[in-house]
Amino acid sequence: MVSAIQPSVKIQTAAAVTALLIGVFVYLLDRQSESVYFMTYWMSLGNTMNPFFGIVGNQLPTFIHVYAFILLTMAVASASRESVLIICLFWLILESLFELAQITVIAQWIANYTPEWFHGIPFLENTAAYFLAGTFDVLDLCSIAAGTLAAYLTIVISTQRISNHG
């Protein structure tokens, strides 16, 4: 028997996809093409215009990543409401570790120990460059925490509203 998708999962998935689309616009409108692994020069308006998202665009991607990944994990895993804290903590810790790994000393260590076989494999080939070119920012850690809280609240509120009305 195939069960219908819960309305709360639809809301959470729509919120995650919308957030990811906003993230795409941050990269297309505000970032220099050479600073984004998968973006060519002609795709980026950041090469020719002032930042569209302004100063918010600096931390928006870290907020969006954790927010969307939490919501998508809940949807894909068909996770129970009780597991939301575990999923939120998992993504909070993972995203924070990626941010902390951009501290120069740590980034250099990662680059030195990145396996040779990563070269030529899409995404893995960029591992060392990701950390070396990245910039650690305490505000990114704050936006990761804010994105985690926003995702948690999105899940709790969407689940409560559906159960109250359903």
Give the per-residue SS3 of 80-144: CHHHHHHHHHHHHHHHHHHHHCCCHHHHHHHHHCCCHHHCCCCCHHHHHHHHHHCCCCHHHHHHH
pLDDT, one tens digit per residue, over 120-150 is 888 788 788 888 888 899 999 999 999 999 9
pLDDT, one tens digit per residue, over 46-101 is 555 666 666 666 788 899 999 999 999 998 887 677 789 999 999 999 999 999 99
> Domain ranges in the chain?
7-165
Does this model's pTM top 0.85? My answer is: no
